[in-house]
Structure 1
Amino acid sequence: MRITIDGRAIGQDAPPYVIAEVSANHNGSLEAALRLITEARRAGADAVKIQTYRPGTITLDRSTPDFVIQGGLWDGHRLFDLYEQAQTPWDWHPRLFEHARSEGITLFSSPFDTTAIDFLDELGTPAFKIASFEAVDLPLIRYAASKGKPLIISTGMADAEEIGEAVAAAREAGCLELALLHCVSGYPAPATDFNLATIPDMRERFGTVVGLSDHSLENTTAISAVSLGAALIEKHVTLDRAGGGPDDSFSLEPTELASLTAAARTAWSSLGHIDYGRKSSEQGNVQFRRSLYFVTDLPEGSEITAEALRSVRPGHGLPPKFFDAIVGRRLIRPAKDGTPVTWDHVGGP
């Protein structure tokens, strides 16, 4: 299984596709958003993801308890105010797409309503990403899928039935290239919540490319996911974790993103294929394996005793597994102390 975004093949047979999630980490500055794209490219990410909405398309301008966050990272904030602060202005989008193209890195976005999908489609986005909180919005998924572009769906908080419904909605609307991101929608999320063993099950159960959207505070979880077949890794990125923005505190700084991209690709390259053969880096060390050596001088015609042999390093003699086959045989030529045992000493196997 594989999908292709902007010419880059994504699947288990390709290096992990690393997505730098900008989210609200531009903190209201276009220059910061542009710089984040540049830093993501320098760090080796394959793509940058933004979010496309207006406050009124994602929530209602209300102050009743339903619309005020209780507890957690954004305790006490009205949803409308939070999204107004966090939004990426639509008039920035053309400049952001242009800058990403000039930097040679892919840019796409998470749309939160049909107008955002149409807007991004007009800008030539190469893919759509459905956020975890929208994974249950089947009409939104169907509309995004109808555009004929690759679709990535985050699955935070969704159970198996809901994920199946989202996949069915995308497929029924014509999506041919679909990826799911295993996700824990905690901000931050502890590594113990991830249950990464879900990744191979998700791939088999839903028949899609699978990756990880990682909100943990370190890179270990994401790197571990690669070993279980995660073909995409998404991580929030910021210029400054202490910047005070809504998502800064659980995001990677550019140097940490660079470490992730390098380590994820090393993890992938180490998987390789099933191979019990001797590896190229081992060839020079074969000589240091154990083998049979004579530990006393023996004349021609002597019977070889167990006491006359030792299994030692280096490996220039017969392998130790032939110890019993050699003991009791007679020498057809003399043997000297400290020389390797060969079949020539006894006339062959």
Structure 2
Amino acid sequence: MSAVSTSSFSIAGRQVGPGYEPYVIAEVSANHNGDIEKAKRIITQARQAGADAVKIQTYRPDTITLESDLADFRIVDGLWAGRTLYELYEWAHTPWEWHPELFAHARKEGITLFSSPFDSTAVDLLEELGAPAYKIASFEAVDIPLIEYVASKGKPMIISTGMADAAEIQEAVDAARGAGCEQLAILHCVSGYPAPAEDYNLRTIPDMIGRFGLVTGLSDHTLDNTTAITSIALGASLIEKHVTLDRSGGGPDDSFSLEPAELAALCRDTKTAWRSLGGIDYGRKSSEQGNVKFRRSLYFVKALRAGDVITEDAVRSVRPGYGLTPKYLHAILGKTVKVDVDMHTPVKAELIAD
């Protein structure tokens, strides 16, 4: 089953797609560090920075992994080395009892809140809370039953594609479509924490747009905003970035997350990048109208009487640009003027005989 081309869709009334300003998602992830008040402050800061949405993650350690010390379950390198998967997710998870309060706080702040569910019970909780959209995390892009269950709810879905190859992305897209999802986006992603910019290969984004026919964006794990802003020029319509109040906060994801001022810059600069794309236009732009005086054109540099021949010493190519363009210089030499002209008069076609 192939994907159906989608030019745009709506999340909580905000249109998302190539014809609209980039949709910026502030990912809280584990950056609340076990403090609900901190989670609420991140939501507030995201709204103040201009983000379109805040995203959390809905799982418990027992819904995402097994409590085991076996080698398969131990993390041996990277940011979280030395922990088991269960210990990491116990540390990082957003307690389910927080969810109603966080959704209420987001509504109060006037910003969209949705989540990444990691199993069907998480989806059921989010449905009870009226989540307006769902995000499938990169590592769950191969969980076809989860994708189908989320898709069955009829909400907009965003699937992150880190670690997935083209065939796996197609399988995820087909599963979502087959289970009833009509509003679908995919995010190009590198599942490194942090990820070096050179791993992103952003030219993949236009290929994804052509290959899958979907609204496409970027889940960015680099340490600054350059990669995200660049992706806009290549067709990204959504940007997701981890956010925190303090990068030195010591939480699981703090070290590769944006602080509030950086998030504000991301929201501003991605929108500027999108506006700068515009359309194909070789015409004079509104900001150029007042600068015609700085272009070259032809001017009479001595007075002529009606019937006088235009000679080389009678005209010059100079600024401003109110006369004929200099390409007409040789065409007018040897012609006569129809009326008297004063020195420093712009050369106009109507002044010249034939």
Q: Which bin holds the TM-score, normalised by the shorter protein?
A: over 0.9
128, 131, 138: which one aligns with 2:137: 131
Q: Deviations over 1:208-251 (max 9, x none)?
A: 11111111111111111112221111010000000011100100
Against the structure 1 CA distance between its residues 151 and 332, is the aligned structure 2 distance closer, same or farther, given a 3 Å change threshold?
A: closer
- 1:218 aligned partner: 224
Following the alignment from structure 1 to structure 2, what is the Cα–Cα distance between the partners of residues 7 and 27?
A: 31
SS at match of 1:292: strand
Give the Cα–Cα distance (whole angstroms) in 2 for the partners of residues 345 and 83 of structure 1: 82
- Is 1:203 the equivalent of 2:238? no
How many residues align? The count is: 348
Partner of 2:3: none
- When normalised by structure 2's length, the TM-score is 0.94
Q: Which amino acid aligns with 1:255?
A: A
Partner of 2:89: 83
Cα 1:150/1:332, change in 2 over 3 Å = closer
The alpha-carbon deviation at position 328 of structure 1 amounts to 1.8
Q: Separation in 2 of the partners of 1:301 and 1:177?
A: 73
> CA separation in 1, counterparts of 2:64 and 2:145?
14
Distance in 1, matches of 2:318 and 2:24, equals 48
In structure 2, the gaps of 5 or more residues are 1-6
Query: How far 1:296 sits from its partner (Å)?
Result: 4.2
Cα offset for 1:145? Answer: 0.7
**2:322 is aligned with 1:316:** yes
Moved more, 184-193 or 339-348: 339-348
Once residues 344 and 237 of structure 1 are traced to their aligned partners in structure 2, the CA distance between those partners, rounded to angstroms, is: 64
After superposition, residues 263-274 of structure 1 pair within 5 angstroms as: 263-274=269-280
One-letter amino acid of the structure 2 residue matched with residue 252 of structure 1: L
Q: Report deviation, 1:149.
A: 0.9
Shift of 1:295: 3.4
Larger CA deviation: 65-74 vs 306-315: 306-315
CA distance in 1, matches of 2:240, 2:233: 15
* Structure-1 residue corresponding to 2:193: 187
Runs of 4+ displaced beyond 6 Å: none
Pair 1:156-2:162 in alignment: yes
1 CA distance for matches of 2:128 and 2:337? 86
1:287 maps to what in 2?
A: 293
Aligned counterpart in structure 2 of residue 3 of structure 1, from 6, 9, 32: 9
AA in 1 matched with 2:293: Q
Quote the offset at 1:298 in angstroms. Answer: 4.8
Give the corresponding residue for 1:174: 180
**What is the CA–CA distance in structure 1 between the aligned matches of 2:118 and 2:216, rounded to whole Å?**
22
Question: 2:295 and 2:95 mapped to 1: Cα distance?
Answer: 65
Q: What is the DSSP-based 3-state SS (H/G/I as helix, E as strand, rest coil) of the residue aligned with 2:264?
A: helix
Is the contact made by 2:336 and 2:353 (CA closer than 8 Å) also made in structure 1?
no
| 2:76 pairs with 1:36 | no
CA distance in 2, matches of 1:342, 1:4: 54
| Conservation of the 8 A alpha-carbon contact between 2:295 and 2:319 | yes
Deviation at 1:129, TM superposition (A): 0.5
Cα distance, 1:301 vs structure 2: 4.2
In structure 2, the residue corresponding to 1:211 is in which secondary structure? strand
Per the alignment, residue 228 of structure 1 pairs with 234
DSSP-derived class of the 1:182 partner: strand
Cα distance in 1 for partners of 2:339, 2:180 equals 79
For the residues of structure 2 that align with 1:294 and 1:248, how far apart are their CA atoms?
69
Q: Deviations over 1:230-279 (max 9, x none)?
A: 11110100000000111001000011101111111111122222222222
Structure-to-structure mapping, 1:106-121, within 5 angstroms: 106-121=112-127
Determine if contact 2:292/2:322 at 8 Å carries over to the other structure.
no
Query: Percent identity at matched positions?
Result: 68
Structure 1: which 5+ residue stretches go unaligned?
A: none
Aligned equivalents of 2:15, 2:339: Cα separation in 1:
64
Q: Structure 1 residue 342: deviation in Å?
A: 2.4
Q: State the SS of the aligned residue for 2:135.
A: strand
- Compute the displacement of 1:94 (Å): 0.5
Q: CA deviation at 1:187?
A: 1.0
AA partner of residue 139 (structure 2): F
Distance in 1 between the 2:217 and 2:51 partners? 15
User: 1:67 maps to which residue?
Assistant: 73
- The CA distance in 2 between the partners of 1:73 and 1:4, in whole Å, is 36
Question: RMSD between aligned alpha carbons?
Answer: 1.5
TM alignment of 1:7-18, pairs within 5 A:
7-18=13-24
How far the C-alpha of 1:281 sits from its partner, in A, is: 1.5
Residue of 240, 243, 248 corresponding to 1:242? 248
SS in 2 for 1:245: coil
Residue 68 of structure 1, CA deviation? 1.1
Question: Which residue of the partner structure matches residue 4 of structure 2?
Answer: none
- 289-298 vs 312-321, which deviates more? 289-298
**Higher alpha-carbon deviation: 143-152 or 295-304:** 295-304
